[in-house]
Chains A and B, each alone.
Chain A
Amino acid sequence: MAEEKTKIRVLVVDDSPFSRAILINALPEEEFEVVGEAEDLSSVLAQYSQHRPDVVTMDVAMPDIDGIGCTARLRKEHPEAKVVIVSSMWDEAMAQEAKAQGACGYLQKPVQADELVAALREAIGLHRLPEELDSLYPGVFAGALVDNLNRCGISFSQEDLIQEAKPGDTSLGITILVGITGEVSGRMAMDLSYATASELARSLLKREPKRPEEVHQVMAEFANIVAGHATSRLNKQFKGLALRVSPPGIITGEGYRVISPHIHSATLSAAIFDGKVVLSVGFKKEEVAWT
């Protein structure tokens, strides 16, 4: 699957056109797109609503409000806003206050281009992402599972999913394993019995599956689509995440256990036909803990 390369969209806030020009010129065009410029609180709020930038650079000294107050107001309306303060003034107290109001970074003017690029990348890519990702990914995968069950004619809603406290590690008979790589890495495992898999394969194929191998392959395709949809959704939500999925591995056997010692998993099960589909998704511990 080709990776879609999207530019980091930036809103530049500074009351001085000269300072804005310096900041804009410092951002390499191949990686950044300046979607708007603002100079006071009302233009910041308007431009933010209109463009939904990935990150905002924020001056401190502005006519109607200081940049830290402006950051607080912006984040009150748009809690997802990622703001990097760029100011000629800096002291420890201001930096603390900026952080308290939700700024992701603080740079002092004059700003070096590479410093600015790194701060903006960090603001969207590293600083806040894993924490948010940690709380968001289970729902995104659950949504992808439900959508794809519905798509093949199985009516099911996200409320019908059961959250399993702890993944039962003994397989029901078939496990489709999909590796996930990117800024964070992890894996998705879809587990179900052969009987449930046959029923699901019949719904997907709209005919009787011919041999067990066909059931396995259809399950692998299904899991691959679920993982693909969920990771693309996360990639759109978090720029720079660059998740990719590895070709699915089909594990079959009897009474085997699937264990991922280095992963924090969320496990959901969906009761379908007379059995269930158990979806376990997780990311590497140390990366998710990264804040």
Chain B
Amino acid sequence: MDVNKVAPFLDAVGVVMPQLGFQNIERGRLAISSDPKISSQGVMVIVGLTDQIRGNVVYNMSVDSAKKIASTMMMGMPVETFDAMAESAISELGNMLAANAVTLFEARGTKTNISPPTLVVGDSSVSKIGNVNNLVVELKIDGIPIEIDVALDK
């Protein structure tokens, strides 16, 4: 997998997160794996991709990360439990990140479309069938760990 090809998914983080009140984005481990399975850290936002880029992008984070991010997105409102309001915020985060990536792809002449986000909460994993190229990127956003998994058709 050519990392440059999926760069818009990472670049979108740098565009979207500052708009939501986050300042510092640190990129950690970046790995390419052929393992089709992505294990949840607690909360996954899954967005389907069609057209020239086909697959799924998964925003994967712990419940703790999800609560912290939701809190910042809701202007610092305390989030004690990962409730419906926080679920909606994190789902919207996945939508914004993926939609922004689509715009960046389009600017490069690559057409792709996204499905609405689906949130999976709890002990789970997600995998794809067929030949899979899976890019895993660990990020820290204002110190909050979050992982982006891009699983695309080969």
Contact = CB atoms under 8 A, between A and B. Distances in A.
Interface of A: 171, 175, 177-182, 185-187, 189, 216-217, 220-221, 244-263, 284
A252 B125 CA distance: 6
A260 B54 CA distance: 21
Interface of B: 40, 46-51, 54-56, 84, 87-88, 91-92, 95, 113-130, 153
A256 B40 contact: yes
Contacts, number: 130
Nearest to A248: B129
Contact of B48 (A246, A254, A259): A246
A254 B123 contact: yes
B122 A257 contact: yes
Contacts of B95: 262
18 contacts: A179-B48, A244-B50, A244-B113, A246-B55, A251-B46, A251-B126, A253-B125, A254-B124, A257-B121, A257-B122, A259-B118, A260-B119, A261-B87, A261-B88, A261-B119, A262-B92, A262-B116, A262-B117
B118 A258 contact: yes
Given A247-B48, A250-B129, A181 B40 contact: no
A181 B114 contact: yes
Given A187-B48, A220-B129, A256 B88 contact: no
Given A185-B114, A187-B116, A247-B130, A253 B124 contact: yes
Given A181-B51, A249-B127, A253-B40, 13 more contacts: A175-B120, A179-B48, A179-B115, A185-B114, A185-B116, A221-B129, A246-B49, A246-B54, A249-B46, A259-B91, A259-B119, A262-B88, A262-B116
